[in-house]
Structure 1
Amino acid sequence: MTPAGTPEFSVVIPVFNSQDIVRETIERTSSFFNARGWSHEIIVVNDGSRDRSWDVLAQAARDIPGVVAIDLLRNSGQHNANLCGFRASRGAWVVTMDDDLQNPPEEIAHLVEKAREGFDLVIGQFHSKQHAGYRRLGSRMVRTINQRIFGQEKDLVLSNFRLIRRDVVDRVCAYRGPFPYVPGLCLLYSGKRANTLVEHHPRRVGSSNYNWRRILTLLATILFNYSSFPLRVVAALGLATAGFSFLLGLFFLAEGLLHGTNVPGWTTLVVLLSFFNGVTMLMLGMLGEYVIRIINQLNMADPYFVRETIRHDA
């Protein structure tokens, strides 16, 4: 049961350079809910698109009941766009999906059916994932980190196609840091979560915006903002290096006492100094990364800025 005037479902769709397909995505999503008589709203967030995506979204918000179009000032990333949509949503349940119809809106029915079993987070697990090999490798790397940091179950598969209960969404919305990672926050703030099998279609228009650089940036965001694991690794490396240096010093001391000192040890000295100075610089760089992110958290009120919002009923 939802309060009067509150939609049962909110659908959040981050949009980036999808002018040729996003209108169809909105129309099919609206038709899906209307056919079932489920009250809903569709929140489309333009994440600084460089094409005519915002014009398409603005027109859709004027034409289609229940559509809310939000234009971000600049490209802030998919996770910030999702967070913006969460904060604008009112539904008792929030669906997140991509803008390119790789997640068919009709598959939302499977998420809803699974949620009725008592889960507060239901994630679509694809029968076969239509992604490039490097993205699958990146997904495995992210999954390993999520299991260590956020307690993701080994048999739980994450995707951008998910259904989230309102109380979990409200906890995610309370996050005020500059680097939101929505999947991890959903894992942290949910109690009962599960997968359900859904279809995943090939991308019909354009190409994926994810590449190795974005994947590595995501990995760094997770590691440096939600975990002290890199710092511990570097501390362990520093301790091991110090121990090795101490043993090496003892060896050369004994060598000098027993056999005397040879001047031709210049090469060894240079190599060792280069190695240990390199380790020191690595440690300082790691600490500097943490300091920069702490400064950003203290100085930045919001990780995104809204330029314009258009509602159908406005």
Structure 2
Amino acid sequence: MTSANPEYSVVIPVFNSQDIVLDTLRRTAAFFESRQLSYEIIAVNDGSSDCSWEQLAQAAAENPRIVAIDLLRNSGQHNANLCGFRASRGQWLVTMDDDLQNPPEEIAHLIEKAKEGFDLVLGRFHEKQHAGYRKLGSRAVRALNQRIFGQEPDLVLSNFRLMHRDVVDRVCAYRGPFPYIPGLCLRFSGRRANAMVEHHPRRSGSSNYNWRRILTLVSTILFNYSSFPLRLVAALGIFTAIVSLLLGLYYLAEGIFGGARVPGWTTLVVMLAFFNGMTMLMLAMLGEYVVRIINQLTIADPYFVRRTIRDGA
């Protein structure tokens, strides 16, 4: 039987990883058992189209410390992580990928760093085994995290992380429709640091992240955790209104002192420029209020659980 309150929980989102997920689970379990640490592993099947769920069900039947959760449909890595967070019971929680790019044995470095008093420890890779376009996307996301979530300039984010129960509980309390786990971890942690870990190439398959997913992530951060786009449009509206005012004064002076070549031209240009600028400004202001209202009223979970195997049943 498993401990009601294990010391460590490990959350692993799983998507189309039938060829490697069993090895990931077994190596993770072996790491904790070799150190005689109480643990549970929560593997969340994020709507896989292969036999990943059957592999998770088999692992959960063999080891009662493995919890297998099957989501109704693909909800994305962040939602799968949030689902695992809410099912976890450990005093400390580790998140890692299902492809063994984060070797489970490297969890030891996260644990050692956390003993220095940190409530969030993120793995920092000696050399990251990712494609070039993902590195460019990471730089863009990093800039947003620094601006919106207060990420320290020398702190590197990764999906391989260890966090205290207090941080997990704060993240679990989030009820918005678009959870962004790295940003929420930053927002709800007090002391955070990096620990150097190894990062290995994928043993099978290919990454699910592409330019489309990266752009979707950037838009999620911008439009759900920041009013920066709306304020940018408002600033453009104000700028347009000012330019239209100056342009209007110019054409007004030209019409008075030089005479207008086309009757009504001055009035038409001034009125169109001014009212278009004011329209952009008012739309941005209305959008600001709409976003705040939506954030206050949205309480639905962004994922649905089909079935769960816990304690082998």
**Corresponding residue number in structure 2 for 1:64:** 63
Aligned length: 311
**Corresponding residue number in structure 2 for 1:222:** 221
The yes-or-no answer on 1:258 pairing with 2:257 is: yes
Contact kept? 2:121, 2:192, Cα under 8 Å: yes
> Judging changes above 3 Å, is the alpha-carbon distance between structure 1 residues 299 and 173 closer, same or farther for their aligned structure 2 residues?
closer
How many Å apart are 1:189 and its aligned residue?
1.1
Q: Distance in 2 between matches of 1:51 and 1:296?
A: 36
- Give the letter for the 1:74 counterpart: R
- Give the letter for the 1:178 counterpart: P
The yes-or-no answer on 1:309 pairing with 2:308 is: yes
Contact kept? 2:227, 2:288, Cα under 8 Å: no
How many Å apart are 1:67 and its aligned residue?
0.4
**Corresponding residue number in structure 2 for 1:9:** 8
- Give the letter for the 1:249 counterpart: G
**Corresponding residue number in structure 2 for 1:206:** 205
Contact kept? 1:25, 1:99, Cα under 8 Å: yes
How many Å apart are 1:65 and its aligned residue?
3.2
The yes-or-no answer on 1:33 pairing with 2:32 is: yes
Contact kept? 1:234, 1:283, Cα under 8 Å: no
Alignment of 1:1-314 (within 5 A): 5-263=4-262, 280=279, 284=283, 291=290, 294-295=293-294, 298=297, 300-314=299-313
SS in 1 for 2:121: strand
Q: Distance in 1 between matches of 2:46 and 2:288?
A: 26
- Give the letter for the 1:133 counterpart: G
> Judging changes above 3 Å, is the alpha-carbon distance between structure 1 residues 201 and 297 closer, same or farther for their aligned structure 2 residues?
farther
- Give the letter for the 1:301 counterpart: A
> Judging changes above 3 Å, is the alpha-carbon distance between structure 1 residues 205 and 169 closer, same or farther for their aligned structure 2 residues?
same
Unaligned runs of 5+ residues in structure 1 are: none
Q: Distance in 1 between matches of 2:94 and 2:244?
A: 55
How many Å apart are 1:296 and its aligned residue?
7.7
Unaligned runs of 5+ residues in structure 2 are: none
Give per-residue Cα distances to partners, 1:35-56, cap 9 Å, x unaligned: 1111110000011112111111
> Judging changes above 3 Å, is the alpha-carbon distance between structure 1 residues 307 and 152 closer, same or farther for their aligned structure 2 residues?
same
How many Å apart are 1:198 and its aligned residue?
0.5
Contact kept? 2:237, 2:280, Cα under 8 Å: no
- Give the letter for the 1:36 counterpart: R
> Judging changes above 3 Å, is the alpha-carbon distance between structure 1 residues 177 and 36 closer, same or farther for their aligned structure 2 residues?
same
- Give the letter for the 1:100 counterpart: D
SS in 1 for 2:123: strand
SS in 1 for 2:209: coil
How many Å apart are 1:101 and its aligned residue?
0.6
How many Å apart are 1:312 and its aligned residue?
3.5
Contact kept? 1:231, 1:287, Cα under 8 Å: no
Q: Distance in 2 between matches of 1:95 and 1:104?
A: 12
How many Å apart are 1:279 and its aligned residue?
9.4
Q: Distance in 1 between matches of 2:46 and 2:273?
A: 45
SS in 1 for 2:193: strand
How many Å apart are 1:66 and its aligned residue?
0.6
TM-score, length-scaled by structure 1: 0.90
TM-score, length-scaled by structure 2: 0.91
How many Å apart are 1:205 and its aligned residue?
1.2
Q: Distance in 2 between matches of 1:20 and 1:111?
A: 27
How many Å apart are 1:294 and its aligned residue?
4.7
Contact kept? 1:44, 1:85, Cα under 8 Å: yes
> Judging changes above 3 Å, is the alpha-carbon distance between structure 1 residues 290 and 139 closer, same or farther for their aligned structure 2 residues?
farther
How many Å apart are 1:223 and its aligned residue?
1.5
Q: Distance in 1 between matches of 2:152 and 2:165?
A: 22
> Judging changes above 3 Å, is the alpha-carbon distance between structure 1 residues 15 and 287 closer, same or farther for their aligned structure 2 residues?
farther
How many Å apart are 1:265 and its aligned residue?
10
Taking every aligned residue pair, what percent have the same amino acid on both sides? 77
Q: Distance in 1 between matches of 2:191 and 2:147?
A: 18
- Give the letter for the 2:160 counterpart: F
> Judging changes above 3 Å, is the alpha-carbon distance between structure 1 residues 264 and 207 closer, same or farther for their aligned structure 2 residues?
farther
SS in 2 for 1:263: coil
Contact kept? 1:178, 1:297, Cα under 8 Å: no
How many Å apart are 1:295 and its aligned residue?
4.2
Contact kept? 2:9, 2:88, Cα under 8 Å: yes
How many Å apart are 1:259 and its aligned residue?
1.8
How many Å apart are 1:126 and its aligned residue?
0.5
Contact kept? 1:63, 1:312, Cα under 8 Å: no
How many Å apart are 1:157 and its aligned residue?
0.3
Give per-residue Cα distances to partners, 1:200-227, cap 9 Å, x unaligned: 1111211111111111111111122212
- Give the letter for the 1:188 counterpart: R
Q: Distance in 1 between matches of 2:37 and 2:196?
A: 22
